[in-house]
């Protein structure tokens, strides 16, 4: 509650910096590097990631896939594969 009151009284630029820092402290962080069990490690990370992290990494990864891989992924998640 104290943080909310402080943010409301701040200059908007300062408030944005405070909120950004608070949110970064609450995230789980980037996925760890893996050598052998990519799916296991990705699933483990996803168990702890915040919804914002899940959405950001999922979209970024999807956008980096080839067109064919994007179509295959969509077919898989929509149950067509």
Looking at the structure, tell me whether residues 15 and 37 fall in a common domain.
no
Indicate the number of domains in the chain. 2
Looking at the structure, tell me whether residues 47 and 65 fall in a common domain.
yes
Structure tokens at 2: 């104290």
Its domain, for residue 4, covers 1-28
65 φψ region: left (φ > 0), alpha (ψ -120 to 50), beta (else)? beta
Looking at the structure, tell me whether residues 35 and 65 fall in a common domain.
yes
Looking at the structure, tell me whether residues 43 and 18 fall in a common domain.
no
Q: How does residue 77 score in pLDDT terms, banded at 50, 70 and 90?
A: very high
Q: How does residue 25 score in pLDDT terms, banded at 50, 70 and 90?
A: confident
- Determine the pLDDT at residue 80: 72
The span from the CA of 44 to the CA of 38, in Å, is 10
Looking at the structure, tell me whether residues 18 and 41 fall in a common domain.
no
Q: Taking 70 as the threshold, does the pLDDT of residue 81 lie above it?
A: no
Looking at the structure, tell me whether residues 48 and 75 fall in a common domain.
yes
Q: Taking 80 as the threshold, does the pLDDT of residue 70 lie above it?
A: yes
Looking at the structure, tell me whether residues 10 and 45 fall in a common domain.
no
């Amino acid at each position: 509650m104290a943080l909310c009151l402080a943010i409301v009284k701040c200059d908007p630029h300062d408030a944005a910096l405070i909120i950004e820092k608070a949110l970064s402290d609450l995230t789980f962080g980037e996925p760890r590097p893996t050598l052998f069990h990519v799916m296991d490690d990705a699933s483990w990370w996803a168990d702890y990631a915040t919804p914002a992290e899940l959405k950001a990494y999922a979209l970024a990864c999807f956008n980096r896939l080839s067109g064919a891989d994007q179509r295959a992924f969509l077919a898989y998640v929509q149950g067509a594969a």
